[in-house]
Structure 1
């Protein structure tokens, strides 16, 4: 019997209840006997007892301590580096706020296996998640939205068939060994959100294929957005942080990280694409200045 040894990679910080729920759904997966799961979980300095609770409930989980400054990309990079030492057949990225449906992994493995039968052994398969209350699409595979804008992506609605995509949200992703052998680990130059997009694009550029599995594999709520009424100084401070400034329809990353990403994938016009997202802050600043001037001139 051919066994599929799979390393499940998770990183967490102070979300004990969510992390335990994620693990419960993971260990309740309806899997065939040839699939084995080894979990590598990075606890990045949680102070809410996450590591202790996991150790008690799921002693088989390999808990890797972080330094408190890893965030998503650093935590997943640490977990993957440790798992690579054991040369697994598959590597599964899993966010700790994802609740997998009982047959989620069966769908992912079946999709990857079907692609391999067709000769595509360097494949990445991403699962789509939906909001637990609204049922709307939250994360999954993304494609380039406009032909003229290589850095503008949009989510692809899953259907009953396998679909191609350009890159991925890292919430639930199944990666074959052959891909990791070519692409390697996540980029240490990135901190949080852009690590998954970068990995998918690097994989595509190195001859790997990216696919969206059929249907939804579980639930995952959208990250909260920032208050658009924040003062410019507050917005700039948040944008410079590891998680950037998440607005309603876009995340404004730090200047340095977005510049690196733009240079890699923006082509000869990367400088324009680098600056485009920040026009929102400039527009808000101009409106606030205009409003102040009109108030002083005409009164309230």
Structure 2
């Protein structure tokens, strides 16, 4: 049985719409676990009243993304999960999303799978995975490098985000859960999927499975829209900071080939120090 784990903190509207999109799936042999990390906007009441079929794990407000996901995975495993999928609450999955993810998962049972992301406002693809050249810290965006005719099936990538991320139990048995100690929020998903790839598990973006996201609503985008000295330090050092230097260092030490590490670290630090003001 597939269990979908969704960590949430407030933003009730997004959670409701995400769960409604999961209810509309063409394939229904899955269950949902929501990790409500101390929401104060009535999320707990909404879940109980409108989605009684959803299993709820309650946090104290200090889990952040990584520990929240791990708590949900642990609960799903106790319920007998045979596959795990992580998902953010600010996504809407297309009706055949689960069907198309499980189609490829059944053909490639050891593979970690992500999905093609669309802009919820325009329906246009905004993220289809990337391949990273560690030597030059250059990201090759598959959406721009693939011909439109190739926007289907599986494409190998270096890592994947946690939005609609399907993980076989064999991966969890081999590498454990997400690194909540060193990567409490950002980069934990990229790290986990990169580590899985380094352990021999194929990592693919599944262009047949699509979900819609809100690109302008990410924490990184909101911080950059309100540029300030405080925001700059939050960007570099805050737990939710998209340019967090500590997180980047841990990710690099775990995943970058040693011969490329000095340049990759220096280049990455420079990008984070100046990038806040350039985007």
Q: Scaled by the length of structure 1, what TM-score is found?
A: 0.80
Name the counterpart of 1:275: 266
1:186 corresponds to which residue?
A: 178
Q: Is the 8 A contact 2:116 2:128 kept in 1?
A: yes
CA distance in 1, matches of 2:271, 2:198: 31
Cα 1:154–1:70 shift into 2, 3 Å = farther
Contact 1:138 1:221 in 2 (8 A): no
Partner of 2:247: 257
SS in structure 2 at match of 1:257: helix
For residue 85 of structure 1, what is the aligned residue in structure 2?
Answer: 78
Give distance in 2, aligned partners of 1:213 and 1:138.
Answer: 14
Q: Which stretch of structure 1 is more off in the superposition, 173-182 or 124-133?
A: 173-182
1:122 and 2:97 correspond: no
Check whether the contact 1:140–1:168 (CA below 8 A) recurs between aligned residues. Answer: no
Give the corresponding residue for 2:156.
164
In structure 2, relative to structure 1, the CA distance for the partners of 1:237 and 1:173 (3 Å cut) is: closer
Distance in 2, Cα, partners of 1:237 & 1:163: 34
**Distance change (3 Å), C-alpha of 1:148 and 1:225:** farther
Which secondary structure does the structure 2 equivalent of 1:227 belong to?
A: helix
* Equivalences, count: 266
Flag the 1:84–1:155 CA change in 2: closer, same or farther, 3 A.
farther
Q: Compute the displacement of 1:154 (Å).
A: 4.5
The aligned runs of 1:1-300 (5 Å cut-off) are 5-31=1-27, 36-115=29-108, 121-144=109-132, 146=133, 148-149=135-136, 152-157=138-143, 159-188=151-180, 189-222=182-215, 223=218, 224-227=221-224, 230-232=227-229, 234-244=231-241, 251-253=242-244, 255-268=245-258, 269-280=260-271
Q: Which runs of 5+ in 2 are unaligned?
A: 144-149
2 CA distance for matches of 1:56 and 1:283? 47
For the Cα contact (< 8 Å) 2:59–2:68, is it kept in 1?
A: yes
The alpha-carbon distance between structure 1 residues 63 and 96, as it changes in their structure 2 partners (threshold 3 A), is same
Cα deviation 1:87-112 (Å, max 9, x = unaligned): 42211111111101111111101111
1:156, distance to aligned residue in structure 2 (A): 2.6
Cα–Cα, structure 1 residues 280 and 176, in superposed 2: closer, same or farther, change >3 Å? closer
Displacement of 1:239 in angstroms is: 2.3
Higher Cα Rg: structure 1 or 2? 1
Q: Is the 8 A contact 1:142 1:169 kept in 2?
A: no
Give the TM-score normalised by the residue count of structure 2.
0.86
Flag the 1:154–1:80 CA change in 2: closer, same or farther, 3 A.
Answer: farther
CA RMSD, 1 decimal:
2.5
Q: CA deviation at 1:216?
A: 4.8
Contact 1:11-1:95 at 8 Å conserved across structures: yes
Give the structure 2 partner of residue 291 of structure 1: none
Change (3 A) 1:93 1:231: closer
Q: Take 1:84 and 1:19, find their aligned partners in 2: how far apart are those partners?
A: 22
Q: 1:163–1:227: structure 2 CA closer, same or farther, 3 Å change rule?
A: closer
